[in-house]
Homo-oligomer: A and B are copies of this chain.
Amino acid sequence: MNNQLDKILISSSQPEWHARLREIHAAVKSATYFEDGSDEDKQLDNILKKVSGRGGDAAITEFTENFDGAMLPSENFRVAQKDLAKARKGIDPILLKSIHQAIENVLKYQTEIFIGNKNTHSGIKYTPIERVGICVPGASAPLPSTVIMTAVPAQVAGVKEIVVVSPPRYKGSIHPVILGICYELGIDEIYRIGGAQAVAALAFGTQTIKPVNKIVGPGNQWVQMAKRKVFGIVDIDSIAGPSEVLIIANDKANPAWVAADMLSQVEHSPGSALVFTDSENIAQKILEELKIQIGRLSRKDSTNRCLLKYGAIITFENMEQVVKQTNFFAAEHLQIQCGAQSKAIAREVKNAGAIFIGDYSPVAVGDYWAGPSHTLPTGMTAKFFSPLSANDFIKSTSIIEYNKEQLAESAADIIRLAEAEGLDAHAKSVKIRQQD
């Protein structure tokens, strides 16, 4: 039954390998973006307009009923403090211990890479962003780790006001583990709203929700496209599409592990999974392992479909070609399973969200545990975007302080440069200070 999957095995000597990558990239793009002027785009504009205009809270209630099927008057947007405490109590103590350690790991890593506390230059100062909104998915897959991976970096940066929005499930509730983690982190401003309407509420504010300065976190296409629209009104982290993994494997790789890693990404549904290798032999073995392991999954049909749409195992002539294409593809998650060579290959990689080096670093280590945020740039945007970190929750201010002598010394140059641009009043603002 699974011979269909054979088509994801491609050699770079076959002309179609390039088309296959383009196809996957196009599929990823269309799962991320609405076309400007399309029906969805117009509907999104309408949501933003209604929430930002007179609609406000009433518009949020309307959209929450339509999209989430929950009847939610504005006085019920916010989760009550007692419900947070209750949710925290309900968490299995063993799970809570794991959560505590995950928080500690993230806190340690983010504090170490934070630049805001290391600056000594008098010409620049760093300040935390005052108020930040975090989108936490809730409907199809509740991801409590999202709270840890977004809120802890913000706390390390010194953000004072952190607001969490998460869409209501049946009867308007939010997954209790999400609420419990918020309680643990001292976050008490949580709204049971989601989708584009939550992004609009965070960006523009409503009668009951104060606007924020930055919106971060994952979400479906509506959330991401709404973030795109409000960029500039607020800052956003990035525009995230389907999750993706690229695995570089040579003949030292364990094909069963590589196959398991591919499946763990495809599980995000949609999620894309690629293997780049220099070995026909290992490529073949990974495919065989995939077929075996898919058979054991509960959701094998959807996984199969996802692999056919977003998967490929491509054999290149040599590792140099592999690295070149890896830099071109700029994957969100890059695993390198090439035995002792793995580290040297990692050094050659310029574009990737996160690199997982060696056989014992599956993506799940980064998703939950190691410390770097799992909010990573997708869809080739690792060429210019970075993983979310504490450094995204500060902004800088330039400091310029000239005294009388310094200005006198530079005055002629500054005046000359201003006049070359025809900006006379700029020149005059310097000249007038030379007359006393």
A257 and B365 contacting across the interface, CB-CB below 8 Å: no
A421 and B363 contacting across the interface, CB-CB below 8 Å: no
A141 and B422 contacting across the interface, CB-CB below 8 Å: yes
Residue of A351, A418, A433 contacting most chain B CB atoms (<10 Å): A433
Also in contact, A235 and B372, with CB within 8 A (given A358-B403, A367-B426): no
Partner of A414, one of B36, B121, B369: B369
Report how far A256 CA is from B359 CA in the complex, Å: 70
User: In the complex, how many angstroms separate the beta carbon of A256 from the nearest chain B beta carbon?
Assistant: 6
State which residues 329-362 of A face B: CB under 8 Å. 343, 346, 349-362
Report how far A418 CA is from B26 CA in the complex, Å: 29
Partner of A398, one of B231, B350, B355, B358: B355
Report how far A20 CA is from B116 CA in the complex, Å: 35
User: In the complex, how many angstroms separate the beta carbon of A42 from the nearest chain B beta carbon?
Assistant: 7
Is A325 on the interface with B (CB-CB < 8 A)? no
Report how far A428 CA is from B308 CA in the complex, Å: 21
B297 and A425 contacting across the interface, CB-CB below 8 Å: yes
A399 and B346 contacting across the interface, CB-CB below 8 Å: yes
Also in contact, A413 and B369, with CB within 8 A (given A400-B361, A403-B358, A404-B360): yes
Also in contact, A406 and B360, with CB within 8 A (given A372-B124, A384-B395): yes
A399 and B357 contacting across the interface, CB-CB below 8 Å: yes
Report how far A389 CA is from B123 CA in the complex, Å: 12
Report how far A430 CA is from B343 CA in the complex, Å: 21
Report how far A245 CA is from B263 CA in the complex, Å: 55
Query: How many copies are assembled?
Result: 2
Report how far A421 CA is from B228 CA in the complex, Å: 27
B144 and A350 contacting across the interface, CB-CB below 8 Å: no
Is A14 on the interface with B (CB-CB < 8 A)? no
B429 and A358 contacting across the interface, CB-CB below 8 Å: no
State which residues 98-137 of A face B: CB under 8 Å. 98-99, 101-102, 109, 112-113, 115, 121, 123-124, 127, 129-130
Partner of A239, one of B101, B232, B402: B232
Q: Which residues of B contact A346 (CB under 8 A)?
A: 399
Report how far A93 CA is from B60 CA in the complex, Å: 63
Q: Which residues of B contact A323 (CB under 8 A)?
A: none
B232 and A426 contacting across the interface, CB-CB below 8 Å: no
Report how far A97 CA is from B294 CA in the complex, Å: 69
User: In the complex, how many angstroms separate the beta carbon of A369 from the nearest chain B beta carbon?
Assistant: 5
Q: Which residues of B contact A139 (CB under 8 A)?
A: none
A361 and B141 contacting across the interface, CB-CB below 8 Å: no
A364 and B418 contacting across the interface, CB-CB below 8 Å: yes
> What are the 5 A-B residue pairs with the smallest beta carbon separation, nearest first?
A372-B398, A235-B384, A354-B398, A232-B239, A267-B425
Binding site for B on A (CB under 8 A): 32-33, 36-37, 42, 45, 48-49, 94-95, 97-99, 101-102, 109, 112-113, 115, 121, 123-124, 127, 129-130, 141-145, 177, 213-214, 228-229, 231-232, 234-235, 238-239, 256-257, 260-261, 263-264, 266-268, 297-298, 343, 346, 349-373, 376-377, 381-387, 389, 395-404, 406-407, 410, 412-414, 416-418, 420-430, 432-433
Q: Can you list 14 pairs linking A and B with CB atoms under 8 Å apart? A: A97-B413, A115-B115, A124-B372, A144-B421, A145-B417, A213-B384, A267-B426, A357-B400, A357-B401, A361-B401, A362-B429, A364-B426, A364-B430, A373-B398
